[in-house]
Amino acid sequence: EDQVTQSPEALRLQEGESSSLNCSYTVSGLRGLFWYRQDPGKGPEFLFTLYSAGEEKEKERLKATLTKKESFLHITAPKPEDSATYLCAASGSNYQLIWGAGTKLIIKP
Amino acid sequence: NAGVTQTPKFRVLKTGQSMTLLCAQDMNHEYMYWYRQDPGMGLRLIHYSVGEGTTAKGEVPDGYNVSRLKKQNFLLGLESAAPSQTSVYFCASRDLDGRGYSYEQYFGPGTRLTVT
C-alpha cells in the first residue's frame, strides 16, 4: 500500500537554528515528490517538486533532497516567518497524490 | 489571476441539511480535485476530475457528489450532512501532464464546514 510518513509531528527551533524535516515514502512508480507549506487558515502553497533520487532544489533558506526512500527538507538559519506546517506528498503511477500528515514548524525569535 | 477560489469560506449545517461548495480556477487547468483535511491526518482525496464533464471517486467519496459542467468550475455537494463531514475542504487544480511526470497542484483557501 502506498504511504507517506512525515517526522517529527512538530519541531520547535530557535531563530537561526538549522534542522531537517523528514518524509518517508512507499510509493510504486514515483512520478514526483512534492513539498508544500501551509499557514494557519490557508491552503497549501507549493514549494518544490523532486523527480529522481539525488535531485536537490533550493529556495531561500529551504533545500529539498530526495533518495529512493525518503526526502528531507533542510532549513538553514530559519526565521520566525518560516513557521508553518510543511506537507509532503508523493505521486505514484496513477498520478494521485498521497499526503503525509505534516510537520508543524515553530521558530522562536 | 485569482488562481483557485472557493465559496463559501465558512458554513455551519445541521445534520441532514444539504449544501454545495463551489470551486473556480482561472488557469485553464484540466485536472481538478476536492480534498478534506482533518487534524492529525494527511489530505484525503474525495473526488477528482480529469476534464470537463468527467468525474471520478477518490479515497473517501461516500456522502459526497461532484459535477464539472464547465472546465473552470468543480462543485462538491453534500446531500445529507453528517457530523463526520465536519472538516476543512480544499479544492485544487493542476495542468495536464504531457511529459510522463506529475505537475504540482494549486490549492484554494479552503472552506471550513461544521455539521452539528
Cβ-nearest to B102 among A44, A91, A102: A91
The set of cell numbers assigned to B17 is 441539511
Cell 508553518 sits at which residue?
A: A84
Provide the pLDDT confidence category of residue B7 given band limits of 50, 70 and 90. very high
* pLDDT, tens digit, 9 for 90 and up, residues B55-109: 999 999 999 999 999 999 999 999 999 999 999 999 999 987 766 666 789 999 9
Give dist(CA B24, CA B76) in Å, integer.
11
Query: Cβ separation of B43 and A46 shorter than 8 Å?
Result: no
Interface membership of B60 toward A (CB under 8 Å):
no
Q: Test A51 with B44 for CB contact under 8 angstroms.
A: no
Question: A93-97: which pairs have CB atoms within 8 A and are 24 or more residues apart?
Answer: A93/A28, A93/A29, A93/A31, A95/A31, A95/B97, A95/B102, A96/B45, A96/B48, A96/B58, A97/A34, A97/B43, A97/B45, A97/B105
Q: Do B105 and A46 touch (CB under 8 A)?
A: yes
Q: Find the helix or strand (DSSP H, E) in which A55 lies.
A: none
Separation in Å, CA of B94 to nearest CA in chain A: 11
Q: Which of A36, A51, A87 has its CB closest to that of B101?
A: A51
Residue from the list B41, B90, B102 with its beta carbon closest to the beta carbon of A43: B90
Tens of pLDDT, residues A21-61: 999 999 888 889 999 999 999 999 999 999 999 999 999 99
Are A42 and B109 inside 8 Å of each other by CB? Answer: yes
What is the sign, positive or negative, of the torsion defined by CA atoms of B74, B37, A65, A60? positive
